[in-house]
Amino acid sequence: MIKHKRVINSLIALTLSLLPLAADAQGSPDTYVDPRIGSEGLGRVFIGPSAPYGMVKPSPDCTCAPNSGWLPMPEQVDGFAQVHVSGTGGGPKYGNILVMPFGGGMDRISHIDYREYENIKLGYYDTKFINTRIRTEITTSRRASFYRFTYPADSLKSLLVNCGFFLGESPVPDAREAQQFVGSEVRIESGNSLSGYSRIRGGWNNGKAYTVYFYAETDVPFETYYTWKGDRISDAESQYDSAEKTGALLRFPSSAQTVNLKIGISFVSSLKAKENLRSDIPHWSFERVRENLVADWNDLLGRIKISDDTSDEYKRMFYTGMYHTMIMPVDRTGENPLWSDPEPYYDDFYAIWDTYRTSTPLITLIDQQREADIVRSLINIYRRDGYMPDARSGNSNGRTQGGSNAEIVIADAFVKGLEGIDYEMALEAMLKDATVPPGGNEEAEGRGGLIPYLQLGYIPYGIPRAGNRTVEYSYCDYAIYLVAKGLGKEKLAEKYLRQSANWKNLWRTDYEHDGAHGFILPRDAEGNWLDDIKFGKSDLREPTFRYTPVTSEAPWYCPWWDTFFYEATSWEYSLSIPHDVPGLIEMCGGAEAFDSRLDTFFGKEYYNVNNEPSFLTPCLYHWIGRPDKTSDCVRDIINRHYNDGPVGLPGNDDSGAMSSWLVFHMIGLYPNAGQDYYLIHSPLIKETTINVGNGKTFTVKTEGFSAKNKYIVAATLNGEDYPYSYIRHKDIAGGGQLVLKMGSRPAGWGTTAPDID
């Protein structure tokens, strides 16, 4: 019976959850943000309230399995934890300091329940539980969360605070990518406050232990409390850390129908958590906290304005895409337990391999100071920890996936003129990656396989991710070239420009597949091409499997993380040379062959929309003078793979990577990250105005825009004819207007390939 009831309630909840978006719509950007977009399927986005780059992210936790904590109804709810990530793959991270209202006795430490409905909006979460009939509302500030619990009149008004809960728990000690419990502590501070911490290690980046401290206050004093350690409940006011899970059970007076709860979070101490709570939320107004949060978001989201007649579906997709881009990385300035200095500190780069391509350029475009602070943080992590991260979470570097991609983030900032960054120190950090092997810590930082890369000019098969690393190190070397050249270090620049061509050393010219000639394929240290790949170790046999350009993973008996290409095929990576597309075209046999190759790539669906190495590939038609084909390709990808529903993202959002890809393409500008230009193609929005700072705006405006008129036939920049299919960053940052005249068929605009140096 209860199962049928949950289905009916789920349908009612879906209807109710849609109503606020329509009722509240006043045209401000926040009304078009729907945190549910991409929450189901592969997207894995965080659905709870978050401040921009906020440290605290409270939301439901539905068992310890999902990365974001949340699962759709009718899954159970264990409670509401305060720290989460968004859109990530791999193993979970965080899910710390769980609270759960309940109405029963205080003789047990688990009080799961089921949702009757969910109401999810920007800065606000609301649900009611089926069994206890308790309503929970949540909003947040940057470093403190705010809960409002409404209990039925006949309920026992109770609250659980669990310091031992976390995501990704495994019974196997040191299980790869699983989080592992280290310790916890809880203390009743007064009649309406308590504090403690949760210490956890591991997770996706297999990181060292991190500690999440909390200080919590209620506006209603509790009349009874218990604490627990392990499975032992007592009336002790505190439970010290002895490597067992701890928590507290609170009971409020029967007259207290509504209880407000504020939870300050810190990575430094419980006293710092208390200061965060008092400074962030010095009052008891739930509405004021949410209003301030929405105002902060509208300030950022409003920096890009799109035409009023854009469809509501596209408005939701666009502004939610911007929103997702600014949830991570997390601003933990002043919250670093490892060192203390005045530099900004950001964490949860999860991972730069994903975000450097689109998220970084989007933040740079609309929030230059924020991106400068993020870059300064990367450089300072190098100064303190020895290497910049390719990913970082819980104050620990790791994991590397392909390149040492912080170098591209720095190059992107440098060529776009971001100020306040020590680029000499940045170059030093980049050169550390490029010259000093990380010494057995290759999954955490630096460049794995660096010595053979420098000796041979490529990474031979047998070293994990040899294909990824060779291709991506080549681009990272190009990033070093750009910064060194800009700083006047000519000899150093020349060295890394030469080294940026190393991808060609894995290009097998004589290999043909599906009409395309030349692919990046495995090669051993002696220079031999490998058609058959050995796996395993045996004194009697030498088992092999055939490697081809469409091999997406090794057989099940080979570790997927150690394959030649990680998360991609050779078809994909052989087109992922963003710093030397003219050289790539030449290697493929010229423009005509390259055109045919791209047509095959998309026509045969070798393209993987949810894989970052293919992010730029739809725009490669620009280099053969066919931006019209880029426009067709991008429009088709978005129409087939993106929407404004719960499965509206085609893959893991990866801290906003998928979302920012969409935002750029809807505008009609696409960055080649690490370089100072954007490719122009037909937008999906009639007019977009970007506040680029310093009192200036840049507008992308169309004339004759319609579903039929989907090609750019001519363009002007600030009133002058503009025949080019790309635009420099300085021309956007200086303000102005790009007018795109649209027609029903291509008319020769943009046929000159980009000549970009």
Q: Six-digit token pair at 253?
A: 């007076």
Tens of pLDDT, residues 238-263 = 999 999 999 999 999 999 999 999 99
d(CA 542, CA 178): 33
The predicted structure's pLDDT at residue 24: 41
Q: Is residue 26 over pLDDT 70? A: no
Contacts by residues 274-283 (CB-CB < 8 Å, ≥ 24 positions apart): 274/195, 274/215, 276/143, 276/144, 276/215, 277/143, 277/144, 277/215, 277/216, 277/217, 280/141, 280/142, 280/143, 280/144, 281/141, 281/144, 281/146
The predicted structure's pLDDT at residue 533: 84
- Give the amino acid at 606: Y
The predicted structure's pLDDT at residue 563: 87
Binned at pLDDT 50, 70 and 90, residue 232 comes out as: very high
Q: How many CB atoms lie within 10 A of CB 624?
A: 19
Residue that is written with structure tokens 């809880």 in the block: 186
The predicted structure's pLDDT at residue 241: 96
For residue 101, give the 3-state DSSP assignment.
Answer: strand
Q: Six-digit token pair at 258?
A: 């509504």
Tens of pLDDT, residues 134-161 = 999 999 999 999 999 999 999 999 999 9
Q: Are 329 and 348 in contact (CB under 8 A)?
A: yes
Tens of pLDDT, residues 266-321 = 999 999 999 999 999 999 999 999 999 999 999 999 999 999 999 999 999 999 99
Provide the mean pLDDT of the chain: 93
CA-based end-to-end distance of the chain: 68
**pTM, rounded to two decimals:** 0.94
β-pairing verdict for 124-129 and 193-202:
unpaired
List beta partners, residue 202. Answer: 179, 207
Average pLDDT over residues 94-101: 98
Q: Could you tell me the residue ranges of all domains in the chain?
A: 2-300
Q: How far is CA 100 from CA 104, 128, 266, 513, in A?
A: 12, 12, 20, 57
Q: Is the peptide bond before 251 cis (omega within 30 degrees of 0)?
A: no
The predicted structure's pLDDT at residue 658: 96
Binned at pLDDT 50, 70 and 90, residue 723 comes out as: very high
Q: Is residue 192 over pLDDT 50? A: yes
Tens of pLDDT, residues 440-472 = 888 899 999 999 999 999 999 989 999 999 999
The predicted structure's pLDDT at residue 757: 65
Q: Are 73 and 13 in contact (CB under 8 A)?
A: yes
For residue 350, give the 3-state DSSP assignment.
Answer: coil
The predicted structure's pLDDT at residue 5: 39
Residue range 2-300 forms a domain whose CATH class is mainly beta
Q: Is residue 18 over pLDDT 90? A: no
Binned at pLDDT 50, 70 and 90, residue 562 comes out as: confident
Q: How many CB atoms lie within 10 A of CB 636?
A: 12
Tens of pLDDT, residues 47-84 = 999 999 999 999 999 998 899 999 999 999 999 999 99
Average pLDDT over residues 489-498: 98
For residue 501, give the 3-state DSSP assignment.
Answer: coil
Q: How many CB atoms lie within 10 A of CB 614?
A: 21
